């Protein structure tokens, strides 16, 4: 499983990374979590307002920090 957290390093971007790690910990799931700070790559991913979250190539969130339970649900949707 690959999880990408998009954002230039703003407080909400850091918060999203913490939420993702908390969700993974609660589910006892191991995943590669990549922080993408390059604005070109952020825009290329379709994220017009960071932070953004992509799980296994699917954009799940943009412009907000989802709750831990919401991220857990997305992680459990994996194929």
Q: What is the pLDDT of residue 78?
A: 62
Full pLDDT tens readout for the chain, 79 residues: 999 999 998 999 999 999 999 999 999 999 999 999 999 999 999 998 999 999 999 999 999 999 999 999 999 986 6
Which residue among the candidates 3, 13, 16, 36 is catalytic per the annotation? Answer: 13
Global pTM exceeds 0.75: yes
Per the structure, the count of domains in the chain is: 1
DSSP labels, 13-47? HHHHHHHHHHHHHHHT---EEEEE--HHHHHHTT-
- 13 given a catalytic annotation: yes
Give the residue among 17, 1, 8 at the shortest CA–CA distance from 53: 17
Q: What is the pLDDT of residue 33?
A: 96
Q: How far apart are alpha carbons 69 and 76 in whole angstroms?
A: 11
Give the residue among 17, 10, 22 at the shortest CA–CA distance from 33: 17
- 68 given a catalytic annotation: no
Which residue among the candidates 1, 2, 9, 10 is catalytic per the annotation? Answer: 10
Structural domain boundaries enclosing 64: 2-76
Question: CATH number for the domain including 39?
Answer: 3.40.30.10
Q: What is the pLDDT of residue 31?
A: 93
Q: How far apart are alpha carbons 46 and 35 in whole angstroms?
A: 16
Q: What is the pLDDT of residue 29?
A: 93
């Amino acid at each position: 499983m690959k999880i990408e957290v998009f954002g230039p390093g703003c407080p909400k971007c850091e918060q999203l990374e913490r939420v993702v790690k908390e969700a993974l910990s609660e589910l006892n799931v191991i995943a590669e979590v990549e922080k993408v700070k390059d604005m070109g790559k952020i825009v290329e991913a379709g994220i017009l307002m960071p932070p953004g979250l992509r799980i296994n190539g699917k954009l799940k969130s943009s412009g907000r920090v989802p709750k831990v339970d919401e991220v857990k649900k997305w992680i459990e949707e994996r194929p």
